[in-house]
Amino acid sequence: MGELNAAAERAGLRTESGRPVRFVPPSGNDPYYEVHLYETGQVHSRPGNRHDLFNALCWLAFPRTKARINALHAAEIPREGGRRGRLRDLLTIFDEGGALVACADASLNALVREFRWKELFRERREQVLGGMRFIVLGHATLEQALEPRPGITCKALFVDPVRDADAQAAEWLGRLPPDASPKMLAPLPVFGFPGWLAGSEHAGFYDDARFFRPRRGESAAGE
């Protein structure tokens, strides 16, 4: 934890309330993690816990996005009366399982939005490898990737590949309306990225509708 805090100090990590971000063991008496973090800068991190380690690493890699997620949580919690709303559902899902799709090819981005997975990952494999990046910022997904398997899916935001991805994600979060929900993010089966999982070089890999699901209301090809 000392190395993480030294890195946080070097990077000048701060919450949007202006508090220096530091990683500390949980105290066990703070009912609202996000409010405590916003007010103190203390990120509760369990020693030896991989999930919390990836959370800390994401603070270092995506400081603006993490600070904005925390600030939005802290602002929303007092309004909720103890019941988490859809906006905080979105924030939590993006924090735990978010990814950024950085690609200048609008036709590839359209294939993601339209759930056309085989066309994207198989038929346009070379274009994906050459011009599309998946930037995973969800710390739960990063932990899952230690033991990769079919079914690992993110909720994705599309960003301009020539601009800072962290800044774009923070800006998008800052524009969310009060009635925002997880439906604003695109489902993304990240394990299907060519070469990420063994077997993806075979065309049949992308035929499994359990994982590569069509858009709701549509049938898989051949049905």
pLDDT in tens, 130-178: 999 999 999 999 999 999 888 899 999 999 999 999 999 999 999 999 8
Distance CA 30, CA 140 (A): 22
Residue 35 DSSP label: H
The model's pTM: 0.91
Distance CA 62, CA 79 (A): 27
Q: Assign 219 a pLDDT band (cuts: 50, 70, 90).
A: very low
Domain ranges of the chain: 2-92, 94-207
Task: Give me the sign of the Cα torsion angle 158, 14, 67, 137.
Answer: positive
Question: Helix, strand or coil for residue 94?
Answer: helix
Of 104 and 80, the structure prediction assigns the larger pLDDT to 104
pLDDT at 116 over 60: yes
The structure tokens listed for 80 are 């909720």
What is the Cα 181 distance to its own chain's centre? 15
114, with CB counted inside 10 A (0-12, 13-18, 19+), is: middle
Return the pLDDT at 223: 25
What is the Cα 17 distance to its own chain's centre? 22
pLDDT tens-digit map of 178-197: 899 999 999 999 999 998 88
Question: How many beta carbons lie within 10 A of that of residue 163, not counting itself?
Answer: 11
Return the pLDDT at 222: 29
Q: Assign 220 a pLDDT band (cuts: 50, 70, 90).
A: very low
Residue-wise DSSP of 160-189: -TTS-HHHHHHHHHHT--TT--GGGSEEE-
> By C-alpha distance, which of 76, 15, 3 is closest to 40?
15
* Cα–Cα distance list, 13 to 4, 18, 85 (Å): 11, 9, 28
Stretch 63-77: mean pLDDT, rounded? 96
pLDDT tens-digit map of 127-137: 999 999 999 99
Average pLDDT, the chain: 91
